[in-house]
Amino acid sequence: MSEADMAIIKPEMMMKSYIWLETTDGSIQQVEQEIAMYCPMICHEVLQKGLGAGSSKNCAISLPQRVNPAMLSLILDYCRFHQVPGRSNKERKVHDEKFIRMDTKRLCELASAADSLQLKPLVDLSSRALARIIEGKTPEEIREIFHLPDDLTEEEKLEPLKNLMDDPRIRLLNRLYAKKRKELKEREKLKGKEVEERVDERSVDDLLSFINGKDHKVVKTSKSKKKNRKRKEHKNKVSHNLHSKQQGVQIVDETASSLGGVSNLPSMEEDIFSLKTDSEDGYVDDGMDPVLKEMLDREVEDFARRLNSSWVLSSGQERQPVHFSINGNGATRRLTAFQVMLGSLILLMVFGWQVPEFCGVTRKVIMHSPSSPHWWISTVKGNSRVRISGLTGTEGGDEWFDLFNIILDEASGLPKFDNVPANREELVRDDSTQAAERAYNRVERALTSSILSFLTLVAPMY
Amino acid sequence: MPMGESPDLISDLPQSILENILTRLSLRDAIRTSVLSTKWRYKWSTLTDLMFDEKCVAPSTDRAVVETNLVRFITGVLLLHQGPIHKFHLSTSFLQCRPDIDQWLLFLSRNGIKELVLELGEGEFRVPSCLFSCLKLTRLELCHCEFDPPKSFNGFSSLKSLNLHQILVSPEAIESLISGCPLLEFLSLSYFDSLVLSISAPNLMYLYLDGEFKDIFLENTPKLVAISVSMYMHEDVADFEQSSDYNLVKFLGGVPLLEKLVGYIYFTKASPIQLFPLEEESFDLFERDYLDYKLPRLETVRMTDVSGIRNELEFIRFLMGTSPVLEAVVVTSSLSDKDARMEMVVELLRFPRVSPRAQLLFLQD
């Protein structure tokens, strides 16, 4: 079509015909028609708008935005060379190689301009040149050439595909990232779980109490009565917990008033709680309630812990009842175990004196003879018989004597001792000996009981 | 865009230009552009032509390392890729038979593959059945594979180019494949043994055969423009001559558009020329009867390893006598003996030529 047009044009006008082209900056150029028609876009424009288009300054063909005057002249040079039919392929190639030697900025502009004029051979040529610039260069070099911003994060850069050479490092990084992500997820899950758990438990309790409440009393729709009921039930439960834990601690309902700050907290909780159940869908105020609940629970726990520890340290204080939160078990449990052990140790120490006597453990008895300066220490089993030992002399042997009436055991015959006084009736236990006895025994008992109590302390730990 | 120092030159060019640039880079370089900047991160992922070879991964002396790296690279590229994939070329001897290749082919079959080139190393890789569901294929090239189409396979309706090299396949499968590809224009079969083939391809223009063919019959190839045949000899020449009933005219059944004929190695050794199913080999009949037969467009004939036996000479004579526009007959002789060569040349020069411009050119090896 265009050829036919051009064929018509040429014979008619002997001189070269010109087309007027206008770039976006307003400058108008006059170009030989055949050169301009080499660009498909100009060709189409001419054909569409008729031959009148571009024939004078006034109706110049306006070129697309990306074609600036410098680029236009370059493109026209290109067209001027290539539209001549007689050139060989080799000539064209040589020309192209020379033509394409320009700085990168102009190359990019040229590619863009050629693309908007739909001049495919030139687009290919400039793309090839740009590819040659890019290939084989490091990313930093490429960024410098094309003024690219280095705005990728390190993590993004090290995606597995890009750096095949650095495999172990990337694997490690990925593992670390995965771990971190997991941790974050788990933390979030835990948070979510805690909130949800509390919420769920409460709702079950509420339902139960509600049901129980219904059985006993007439159902009243007023909120305040519900609140009171719940408060009492709740307190009763709490008191139940307390009773089972500690001995000798009494909770009286009147103590509710003495709680002061503590009582307000449970009531506030129940306010929120009732709000929740009163609303249709229990989770209307999602954002607020769980957070507030969490906060309150934590405060209550802290308070309870503080109270618990103070009770343990000063044993015998009854005044302050403790409000145990449902979730505060972990910390307080440990405290009470320690308390138990400590208490048992004290008990053992205190009552350890009595134990050996009741158990029938042996003790030492000291006797002396008035006529001689000797003292005899003998082991006594039970209360009645004395066994004098260690008085061996030449033959040795033990004899049993009755403590109170030192009677010779007839079965053993006459002992032959050196130091035993001939008259055994002389062995007496008088005050001095008894004092010594007591002292001696006390020391011995203390030692054994302390060892025993230590063993009992250690054993439960394992 | 903050115009701090100098503006970005290239990232804002239209996508068509950027793809043009990226396709001219090696795949590895194209993918490495993704670390340049945020805009460049996924510019490569819409490329439709993916060409893989062992240069995509770092070289190493250990084959296994290269293999695993290459597998990982290709899998990674396919996973990160977005959009259709039109060309997939894999040419490497490092990969042989791997289940990963099956998975890649499955992925490609779901992404509109049009050109598939699979050149693997030695080892019988069995082409998975998903290949036969790639009905948009226009070019298929397989090398060192086992090709076993299912019974329900009716051919690739858009296939234009088929290239099978050292493929393990049954002749019936090939015949049905060829006849099931009506648009086939280029056919290349190489490294086959004892193939008996009857080619019926109405659009076929270029035929390239290389191997031991027992019998090739160009049954329906009206548009054939160029033929190149390389045949390999059996061990025993005598047996071969007696046993085969290779028929050249059958071979050149109806090829009115033939322009170029190239015959390498033993092309015509085993062919007793028979124009018609006649028993005797009579040269008079020969001369008389093939005047009606014409190869009106044949321009170039090239024969290598001509050793001057009767069949070959007759064939050349036949060609020269039936090609009115013949321009060049290039003959390369395998004879070492100068005298024998001279005899052959003399004989060849005697043949009448229908074409006024025909030249007989002898090339020395």
- Mutation site for A-interface testing, chosen from B11, B18, B20 by largest number of A Cβ within 10 Å: B20
User: What kind and span of H or E run contains A360?
Assistant: none
CA distance A134 to chain B (A): 8
pLDDT at B276 over 50: no
CB-based contacts of B46, cutoff 8 Å, min separation 6: B15, B19, B81, B82, B83
pLDDT for residue B88: 93
pLDDT for residue A221: 42
Task: Kindly indicate the confidence band of residue A316, based on its pLDDT and cuts at 50, 70 and 90.
Answer: very low
Mean pLDDT for A163-175 is: 61
Q: Which residue has the tokens 């236990």?
A: A429
Contacts of A143 in chain B (CB under 8 A): 36-37
Bridge pairing between strands A363-368 and A375-381: antiparallel
CB contact under 8 A, A111 and B17: yes
Mean pLDDT for A368-380 is: 58
Question: Closest Cα to residue B116, out of B95, B96, B90, B93?
Answer: B90
CB B361 within 8 A of CB B328: yes
pLDDT for residue B185: 92
pLDDT for residue B116: 94
Task: Kindly indicate the confidence band of residue B228, based on its pLDDT and cuts at 50, 70 and 90.
Answer: confident
Whole-number percent of chain A with pLDDT over 70: 43
CB contact under 8 A, A147 and B5: yes
CB contact under 8 A, B58 and A164: yes
Tell me the H-state helices in chain B. Answer: 15-24, 27-32, 63-80, 99-109, 171-179, 237-243, 248-251, 283-289, 310-322, 338-350
Say what the pTM is: 0.55
CB contact under 8 A, A139 and B24: no
- Copy the structure tokens of residue A335: 């405290």
Mean pLDDT for B16-27 is: 89
ipTM above 0.90, yes or no: no
Mean pLDDT for A152-179 is: 64
Better-scored residue on pLDDT, B222 or A378: B222
Indicate the residue of B22, B36, B69 with minimum beta-carbon distance to A148. Answer: B36
pLDDT for residue B239: 38
Contacts of B3 in chain A (CB under 8 A): none
Helix, strand, coil: what percent of chain B each, to 5?
30, 25, 45
What sign does the dihedral A206-A211-A217-A221 (CA atoms) show? Answer: positive
Indicate the residue of A130, A147, A161 with minimum beta-carbon distance to B80. Answer: A161
CB A354 within 8 A of CB A443: no
pLDDT for residue A282: 39
Contacts of A135 in chain B (CB under 8 A): 25-26, 29
Q: Which of A1-15, A235-249, B98-112 has the highest mean pLDDT?
A: B98-112
